[in-house]
Amino acid sequence: MIPVVFFGTPEFACPTLRRLIEYSAVEVRGVVTQPDRPRGRGHKVLPPLVKQLAAEHGVPILQPESLDDPAVFPWLREAAPEIIVVVAYAGKVPTNVLDLPPKGCLNLHPSFLPRYRGAAPIQWALMNGETETGNSTMYLSEEWDAGDVIYQEPEPVLPDDNYGSLAERLARKGADLMLRSVLDVHEGTAPRIQQDESRVTWARLIRPKHEILDWSRSSLDLHNQVRALAPEPCARTSCMGTSWKILRSEVPHATAHDIPGTILDMSFNTIRVSTGDGILEILELQPAGKKIMTVDAFLRGHRVERGTRLGEMEK
């Protein structure tokens, strides 16, 4: 049996934890995850999804505010992991923890390193219109996402992918890649491939400013922004003093020469908006305080005039 402790927090980490728990040659001796926090529209305090999964399988759980908490290191030393596996934990792993497991700390990162190091690699791959991304497993180091790579697996970005669909696929495939990494690190057969620092790019944390649609940009850039932020936190604009979240869009083969952000028409169950170089069609949206709906459903209950300018609140 390979004794492992798992660090992770959100839904993305769950497939890897489940794969390790269910694999007969691995013993998950503990899970470290973030504390219960308010989530969702009601801001109800809820446990992380990793905690829920660990509890279902009777795995011991630790939820420190920080890994520098003095209770963390003795708890890990008692668990005596040969390997620590880290997937989307959302916290810096200190040096004493990195040095604890004899075979090292392994991390799953959803990009083809050294591209898109940082907090939001899937979102920025979509935002930048990439047609391919991937998963990387690596040895954790003190520098963010800079450790030696073990294995990499490419993954195409499909034309209809958004953040939700691409993250689900990378999480599922990444679970198998991490299991392979754990087994080969245990056997001493895993490679160590140094990253090429000259090829590093960064995927900075998504901030509220990244959610706002700037209609002077190209239609394709705006469409990629919508994809990258759906189903959450969502790209945003405003219409006549009301905030809209935009969840689905298309770029038609059409041009327009109106002021960017101008609603051109409502046809074929879309709202067509002028952009910096053409038209963006809105297919699905969520007005403030309302549920997510198709444009067809929205227009049955809301009046929108041609010529209305979107985004004027943010200007």
- The per-residue pLDDT for range 10-67, each reduced to its tens digit, is 999 999 999 999 999 999 999 999 999 887 667 789 999 999 999 999 999 999 999 9
- Tokens at residue 184, please? 């080969």
Beta strands 37-39 and 44-46, pairing class: antiparallel
Transcribe 44-73 into DSSP letters.
EEE--HHHHHHHHTT--EE--S-TTSTTHH
DSSP SS3 for 217: coil
* Same domain (yes/no): 182, 244: no
- Interhelix angle 163-187/219-229, rounded to 10 degrees, is 60
Residues 6 or more apart whose CB falls under 8 angstroms from that of 270 comprise 250, 281, 282, 283, 295
Distance CA(272)–CA(279), nearest Å, equals 6
Residue that terminates a domain, selected from 203, 238, 273:
203
**pLDDT for position 11:** 97
pLDDT at residue number 256? 83
Domain identity same for 238 and 171: no
Domain with 94 in it: what CATH number?
A: 3.40.50.170
Indicate if 237 and 186 belong to the same structural domain.
no
Task: Locate 189 and state its tokens.
Answer: 């057969």
Task: Indicate whether 131 and 235 sit together in one domain.
Answer: no
pTM here is: 0.94
Which domain range does residue 229 map to? Answer: 208-314
Instruction: Name the domain count of the chain.
Output: 2
Q: Inform me whether the pLDDT recorded for 315 exceeds 90.
A: no
For residues 198 and 215, state if they share a domain. no
Q: How far apart are CA 266 and CA 270, in angstroms?
A: 6
Average pLDDT of the residues in 250-254: 91
In this prediction, residues 142-152 reach a mean pLDDT of 96
pLDDT for 103: 98
Residues 136 and 279 occupy one common structural domain: no
Residues 187 and 293 in one domain: no
Residues 217 and 142 in one domain: no
* CATH at 236: 3.10.25.10
Q: What pLDDT is attached to residue 313?
A: 52
Residues 6 or more apart whose Cβ sits within 8 Å of residue 240: 308
**Where does a domain end: 203, 224, 243?**
203
Q: How far apart are CA 229 and CA 136, in angstroms?
A: 22
φ, ψ (nearest 5 deg) of residue 107: -130, 140
pLDDT at 39: 77
> If you search the block for the tokens 């990244």, which residue do you land on?
210
Is residue 218 exposed (0-12), middle (13-18) or buried (19+ Cβ within 10 Å)? middle
Of the three residues 203, 219, 240, the one that is the final residue of a domain is: 203
233, 97: one domain: no
What residues have CB less than 8 Å from 193, skipping those under 6 apart? 148, 149, 150
Tell me: do 186 and 260 sit in the same domain. no
Which residue in 77, 90, 83, 84 sits closest to 49, CA to CA? 90
Mind listing the pLDDT tens digit for each residue in 61-93?
999 999 999 999 999 999 999 999 999 998 889
Stretch among 158-172, 174-188, 293-307 having the lowest mean pLDDT: 293-307
Both 125 and 39 in a single domain?
Answer: yes
End-to-end CA distance of the chain: 59
Q: 97-112, pLDDT tens digit by residue?
A: 999 999 999 999 999 9
Are 62 and 186 in a shared domain?
Answer: yes
- Measuring CA to CA, which residue among 64, 86, 85 is closest to residue 73? 64
Facing residues of 38 across strands?
45
